[in-house]
Amino acid sequence: MRLRSLAATAAAGVLALTLASAPSATGSVRTDGTLDADGFALPGLPALPTIPGLPIPPLPTDLLVPRFTGAAVTAQPLDAPPVPQNPWLAPNGRSSMHNDAYSTDAYAVSGPTGRALTMRTASYGIRECATMAFDSHDRIVGLCGGLEGFTMMVIDPVTLRPVSQLQLSARDLGKAANPFTDLCGGTYFFLDGQDRAYATTTRSAIAEVQVGADGGLSKGRTWPLTSYLGADDCLVATGVDWSGRVWWFSQQGTVGTLDRATGAVKALELPDGEGIYNSVSSDETGGVYFVSTHRSYRLDAAADGTPEITWAIPYDRGSAKKPGMLSQGSGTSPTLIGERWIAIADNADPQSHVIVYDRRRGVPDGEREHCSVPVLQGGASTTENSLVAAGNSLIIENNYGYAGVQSTLLGKSTTPGVSRVMIDDEGCHVAWTNPTVAPTSVPKASLGNGLVYVYSKPPRKDLLDAWYVTAIDIRTGETRWSRLTGTGIQWNNHYAAIYLGPDGALYVATIVGLIRLADG
Q: pLDDT tens, 21-59? A: 333 333 333 333 333 333 343 435 777 887 888 999 999
For 463-483, what is the mean pLDDT? Answer: 98
Q: What is the DSSP letter of 15?
A: H
For 280-289, what is the mean pLDDT? Answer: 98
Q: Is the pLDDT of residue 60 over 70?
A: yes
Of 33, 29, 202, 201, nearest to 127 by C-alpha is 33
How many C-beta atoms lie closer than 10 Å to residue 461's C-beta?
Answer: 8
Task: Give first-to-last CA distance, the chain, whole Å.
Answer: 37
Question: What's residue 25's pLDDT?
Answer: 31
Torsion of CA 384, 385, 386, 390, to 10 degrees: -130
Q: Is the pLDDT of residue 8 over 90?
A: no
Among the residues of 183-291, which ranges form H helices?
A: none
**411 three-state secondary structure:** coil
Q: In angstroms, what CA-CA distances link 185 with 31, 52, 110?
A: 22, 24, 33
Percent of the chain with pLDDT over 90: 83
Q: Is the pLDDT of residue 212 over 70?
A: yes
Question: What's residue 292's pLDDT?
Answer: 97
Residues 6+ apart with CB under 8 A from 497: 97, 98, 105, 130, 131, 132, 385, 441, 442, 444, 508, 509
Q: In angstroms, what CA-CA distances link 500 with 246, 265, 452, 471?
A: 26, 35, 11, 13
Residues 6+ apart with CB under 8 A from 340: 358, 359, 360
Question: What's residue 227's pLDDT?
Answer: 96
Question: What's residue 170's pLDDT?
Answer: 86
For 284-302, what is the mean pLDDT? Answer: 98
88-440-463 Cα angle (round to 5): 155
CA 18 to chain CA mean position, Å: 23
CA distance 334 to 417: 20
Q: What is the DSSP letter of 63?
A: G
For 110-133, what is the mean pLDDT? Answer: 97
Question: What's residue 114's pLDDT?
Answer: 99
| Domain count along the chain | 1
pTM over 0.85: yes
Q: pLDDT tens, 492-516? A: 999 999 999 999 999 999 999 999 9
Percent of the chain with pLDDT over 70: 89
Greater confidence (413 vs 324) lies with 413
Q: Is the pLDDT of residue 398 over 50?
A: yes
| Largest Cα span, the chain | 72
**5 three-state secondary structure:** helix
CA distance 254 to 195: 28
DSSP track, 250-265: ETTSEEEEE-TTT--E
For 343-347, what is the mean pLDDT? Answer: 97
Q: What is the DSSP letter of 212?
A: P
Structural contact between residues 126 and 512, judged by C-beta atoms closer than 8 angstroms:
yes
Q: Is the pLDDT of residue 164 over 60?
A: yes
Question: What's residue 266's pLDDT?
Answer: 98
Full domain range(s) for residue 206: 2-518
CA distance 234 to 201: 9
Specify the CATH number for the domain of residue 332: 2.130.10.10
Q: pLDDT tens, 479-495? A: 999 999 999 999 999 99
Which residues on neighbouring strands pair with residue 121, listed in sequence order? 515
Alpha-carbon radius of gyration of the chain: 21
Question: What's residue 173's pLDDT?
Answer: 64
Structural contact between residues 483 and 61, judged by C-beta atoms closer than 8 angstroms:
no
Question: What's residue 323's pLDDT?
Answer: 86
Question: What's residue 13's pLDDT?
Answer: 39
CA distance 206 to 108: 31
Question: What's residue 21's pLDDT?
Answer: 36
CA distance 89 to 101: 8
Mean model confidence pLDDT for the chain: 90
Which residues on neighbouring strands pair with residue 258, listed in sequence order? 246, 265
4 confidence band (pLDDT: 50, 70, 90): very low
Structural contact between residues 323 and 401, judged by C-beta atoms closer than 8 angstroms:
yes
Question: What's residue 472's pLDDT?
Answer: 99
Question: Counting beta carbons within 10 angstroms of the beta carbon of residue 158, is it exposed (0 to 12), middle (13 to 18) or buried (19 or more)?
Answer: middle
For 82-91, what is the mean pLDDT? Answer: 97
For 69-78, what is the mean pLDDT? Answer: 98
Question: What's residue 326's pLDDT?
Answer: 86
CA 138 to chain CA mean position, Å: 20
- Range name among 9-13, 313-317, 440-444, 476-480 with the lowest pLDDT average: 9-13
